[in-house]
Amino acid sequence: MAKIGFVGLGIMGNPMSANLIKGGHQVVAFDVVPALLDKAVANGVERGSSCADVASRSEIVITMLPDGPEVDHAVLGPAGVLEGATAGTMIIDMSSISPLVSQKIAAAAAAKGVEFLDAPVSGGEPKAIDATLAIMVGGEQKVFEKALPVLQLLGSTVTLTGAVGAGNVTKLANQIMVACNIAAMGEALVLATKAGLDPEVVFNAVKGGLAGSTVLNAKAPMVISRNFKPGFRIRLHQKDLRNALQAAESMKVGLPLTSLVQQMLVALMNDGKGDLDHSAIVTFIEEMSGTEVKKPASA
C-alpha cells in the first residue's frame, strides 16, 4: 500500500482518487476549489493544505489538471509539488498538456532526484468512474514499471509510448481522431435527419459496419437524446486541439482537418457552449443546416 498524493479533483480527478482508495491506497489530496476538496474528503481522501503539503506526505503524486499552465504552477510554482517532494518521490502527471511542458517539468524534477511520467488518459468521466481509462505514458521503462500497479487501478490499458512527452503526443493524436470522428458523425446524422430518416435507426444500421466506433457508440445516443451533460467539455477538447496544432507547427506537420474542427470548437465556445460535452460539436453543423438531429415527427 502506497501513500499517494492527488492534485486536481474535478470531473476526472475525483473518481480517479476514489479508485485509488478502493485499491487499498491512502490518498492525500488538494484542489484550489474548496468544494471539490470537501467532496473528495467526504469520499475518504485525506485533506492536504497545498500541493507542497501533499507531496511531503506522499511517495507518488498524481496531478490531474486542465492544461499546461496549471500543471506548471502546481508542480513548479510557490508551494508546488517539487517544493514538498524529496529525492525518490515520483510525479505522474495525468493531465492532457503540451509535451513541451511535460519535458520542462521532467527536467526540473530530475534536478531534484524526483522521477516523472506524463500519463494522459482517454475515456472521459464514465471510464474514470469504472477505472477503464486508456492511459498513454511517457517516461523511462524502470519508472513506468514502478508506477504500473497504481496506473492499473485507474485504467484497463496502460501503454508506455516512449520517453517523457510521448504520452502527451499520443494523447494529442487520440484527441484529433476523436474530434474529427464526432464532427463526421454530426454531419452524417444531420444529413440523415434532413432526409427524413430516424437518426436512431441510421445509427443502429451503421454501428456494426466499418463506420462503427467507440466514439459513435458513446456519442450518437447522447446527440439523439439531446444529452450534452459533460463527460469531456468542449473547451477542454479545444485546448487539446490547440496544443496539437502548436506541436504540429513546431514540426512542420499540416493538420487541415484538426484546424477546421478546432475552429468549430472556438465558435461553440463563443456561443456559450464551452462547458457542454464535446458531442455538442453536432450543434455547429445543425445550425449551419437549420436541422436538429431528432426523430421525425411521424415516429
Final residue in a domain of this structure, among 163, 179, 205:
163
* 156 and 182 part of one domain: no
For the segment 84-115, what is each residue's pLDDT rounded down to a tens digit?
A: 999 999 999 999 999 999 999 999 999 999 99
Chain centre distance of CA 241: 12
Residue 298 clears pLDDT 70, i.e. is over it:
no
Residue 252 within a domain? yes
Assess contact for 89 and 61: CB atoms under 8 A. Answer: yes
pTM of the model: 0.89
Same domain, residue pair 46 and 109? yes
Query: In the listed set 148, 163, 178, which residue is the last one of a domain according to the structure?
Result: 163
pLDDT of residue 54: 98
Report which DSSP code applies to 45.
P
Query: Where are any strands of DSSP class E within the chain?
Result: 3-7, 26-30, 46-47, 60-63, 90-93, 115-118, 121-122, 133-138, 155-162
Domain assignment present for 15: yes
Q: Are 54 and 156 found together in one domain? A: yes
Q: Is 296 a domain residue?
A: no
Tell me, what's the pLDDT at 240? 94
Contact 15, 38 (CB under 8 A): no
Averaged pLDDT, 141-162: 98
Domain co-membership, 107 together with 217? no
Residue pLDDT, tens place only, 200-238: 999 999 999 999 999 999 999 999 999 999 988 999 999
155, 285: one domain = no
Question: Do residue 104 and residue 205 come from a single domain?
Answer: no
Does 22 qualify as catalytic in the annotation?
no
The cell for 66 is 486542465
Segment 32-69, tens digit of pLDDT: 999 999 999 999 999 999 999 999 999 999 999 999 99
Calculated CA dihedral for residues 140, 141, 143, 145, nearest 10 degrees? 160
What is the predicted pLDDT for the residue at 295? 86
- Taken as a whole, the chain contains a residue count of 299
Q: How far is CA 243 from CA 67, 212, 240, 251, in A?
A: 9, 28, 5, 13
Given the residues 112, 127, 142, 171, select the one marked as catalytic.
Answer: 171
The rounded distance, in Å, linking the Cα atoms of 283 and 273 is 10
Structural domain includes residue 179: yes
Domain contains 240: yes
pLDDT on residue 65? 96
Q: Are residues 197 and 225 in the same domain?
A: yes
Q: Is residue 299 part of a domain?
A: no
Give yes or no for residue 1 having a pLDDT over 80: no
Q: Which of 122, 138, 163 is the last residue of a domain?
A: 163
- Cell (9 digits) for 166: 510521448
Mean pLDDT of the region 113-142? 96
- State which H helix or E strand residue 122 sits in: strand 121-122
3-state secondary structure 88-153: CCEEEECCCCCHHHHHHHHHHHHHCCCEEEECCEECHHHHHHCCCEEEEEECCHHHHHHHHHHHCC
State whether 44 and 116 are in the same domain.
Answer: yes
Average pLDDT, the chain: 96
Residues 192, 266 within the same domain: yes
Q: Are residues 137 and 274 in the same domain?
A: no
Q: Is residue 51 part of a domain?
A: yes
Q: The CATH number of the domain where 220 resides is what?
A: 1.10.1040.10
120 and 252 in one domain? no
* Position 230, amino acid: P
In a domain, 298, yes or no: no
Q: Domain of 110?
A: 3-163
Question: Which CATH number belongs to the domain containing residue 74 in this structure?
Answer: 3.40.50.720
The answer to whether the beta carbons of residues 87 and 116 sit under 8 Å apart is no
Is there a contact between 133 and 122 (Cβ–Cβ < 8 Å)? yes
**pLDDT for position 233:** 92
**Closest to 19 (Cα-Cα) out of 125, 114, 102:** 125
Same domain, 28 and 157: yes
Contact 87/56 with Cβ under 8 angstroms?
Answer: no
Task: Evaluate if residue 184 carries a pLDDT over 60.
Answer: yes
Number of domains within the chain: 2
Closest CA to 180 of 111, 102, 281: 281
